[in-house]
Amino acid sequence: MYKIGLFSKISKTTIKTLRYYDEVGLLKPAMIDEDNGYRYYTSDQLSQLHDIIALRQLSFSVDDCIQIIRVGEIDEVLGDRKKEIETNLNELQDRLSRLNHYISEIKEGRKMTYSPVIKQTPECIIYSKRMIVPNYDSYFQIIPKIGEEVTATNPDLKCAIPEYCFIIYHDGEYKDHDIDVEYCEAVDEFGQDTDSIKFKKIPSITVVSVMHKGVYSGLRDAYAYAFRWIEDNNYTITDNPRESYIDGIWNKENQEEWLTELQIPVTKK
């Protein structure tokens, strides 16, 4: 048998750790001298401690080790850990892909005008109106009228905080006229539908988010950058893109200060 000091040296494990394993019941000494309180361990316990160290090096917690070694719940614990490692690995691979994209952009001398971000949109209640608009300039006349129609029917309705209004493009491709769009505004509760405006709840989705500063005519460049980024980083577009209007003609006189967020629904390939 080995005193705790020698056992510590042989196993390359601190005395403090061995005492802690004793306290939590993970590895108790084979014997404790009643006269002096010395802890003694056997050579068999070197093998047990080796198993514990192996699990700890796989980032298992002490509680996990107890479940595996003492309780015997090995399949569930190992399965959960495997899933956790796979998730972390996928996240690291995704980060590496994004980093390589940035490095490539810089090496090719491209200006980093946009910085795509993966994010979750909020689950929310919206009112929406789907329509065919003649062109993009018509938004300035059409959208205020939608708000007026909703307010007339629902005078106490309030916008969600933070505000979230966006347009979904249903054509599936770029068009500069006769555009199939759905205007959406997040609100604090369901209201009364009108003939053309409907209330519904929309789920949270994963999107690539790109911020565009300036006039709407420049959005084409933002889309081109976002689509290239999606392809380069092994994402797949899962639904129609959204444009979320943060700053615009209603609060910024200078068009160069308009801020629009592109939200393109994606999933990892």
The answer on 189 and 161 residing in a single domain is yes
Q: According to the model, what pLDDT value does residue 15 have?
A: 94
- Whether 102 shows a pLDDT value over 80: the answer reads no
Angle value at C-alpha 250, between 244 and 253, nearest 5 degrees: 110
Are 254 and 122 found together in one domain? yes
- 131 pLDDT exceeds 90? yes
Task: Indicate the SS3 state at residue 5.
Answer: helix
Task: Identify the bridge partners of residue 133 per DSSP, sorted by sequence position.
Answer: 179
Please give the pLDDT value at position 94: 78
CATH number at residue 47: 1.10.1660.10
Distance CA 55, CA 68 (A): 9
Report pLDDT for 105: 67
* Cα 91 to Cα 83: distance, rounded to the nearest angstrom: 12
pLDDT tens digits for range 27-76: 999 999 888 889 999 988 998 999 899 888 888 889 888 888 876 667 77
pLDDT at 111 over 80: no
Please tell me the predicted confidence (pLDDT) of residue 137: 83
Amino acid at 242: R
Is pLDDT at 110 greater than 60 in this prediction?
no
Question: What mean pLDDT do residues 191-203 have?
Answer: 94
d(Cα 93, Cα 135) in Å, to the nearest integer?
41
Give yes or no for residue 18 having a pLDDT over 70. Answer: yes
How many domains does the structure of the chain reveal? Answer: 3
- Clarify whether residues 165 and 210 are in a common domain: yes
pLDDT band at 114 (very low <50, low <70, confident <90, very high): confident
CB 208, CB 266: distance < 8 Å? yes
- Identify the pLDDT of residue 257: 92
CATH code, domain with 156: 3.20.80.10
What's the CA angle centered on 30, arms 29 and 35, to 5 degrees? Answer: 80
Decide: residue 207, CB within 10 A, 0-12 exposed, 13-18 middle, 19+ buried. Answer: buried
161-172: average pLDDT: 90
Give me the chain's average pLDDT, please.
88
Mean pLDDT of 122-141: 92
Q: What is the pLDDT of residues 150-166, one digit of tens each?
A: 999 999 999 998 889 99
**Which tokens hold the place of 117?**
């971000």
Instruction: Looking at the structure, tell me whether residues 104 and 47 fall in a common domain.
Output: no
Do 39 and 18 belong to one domain? Answer: yes
Considering the domain architecture, whether residues 31 and 138 belong to the same structural domain is answered as no
106 CB-near residues (< 8 Å, 6+ apart): 112
> Phi and psi of 239, rounded to 5°?
-160, 180
Q: Could you tell me if 44 and 29 lie in one domain?
A: yes
Q: Are residues 66 and 166 in the same domain?
A: no
Q: What is the mean pLDDT of residues 214-230?
A: 88
Report pLDDT for 78: 78
DSSP per-residue string spanning 163-204:
--EEEEE-SSS--SSSEEEEEEEEESS-----SS-EEEEE--
Q: Whole-angstrom Cα distance, residue 95 to residue 268?
A: 12
Q: What is the pLDDT of residue 112?
A: 56
Instruction: Work out the average pLDDT over 217-245.
Output: 90
Residue 39 sits in the same domain as residue 151: no
Structural domain boundaries enclosing 21: 2-72
Query: Are 151 and 211 contained in the same domain?
Result: yes
Residues 14 and 129 in one domain: no
Angle at 249 between CA 244 and CA 251, to 5 degrees: 90
Q: What is the pLDDT, as a whole number, of residue 80? A: 81
Q: Would you tell me how many other CB atoms lie within 10 Å of the CB of residue 43?
A: 11
CA distance 99 to 233: 10
22 and 99 part of one domain? no
Q: What is the pLDDT of residue 93?
A: 80
d(CA 68, CA 247): 55
**pLDDT surpassing 70 at residue 25:** yes
pLDDT at residue 203 in the model: 95
Structure tokens at 148: 């007026």
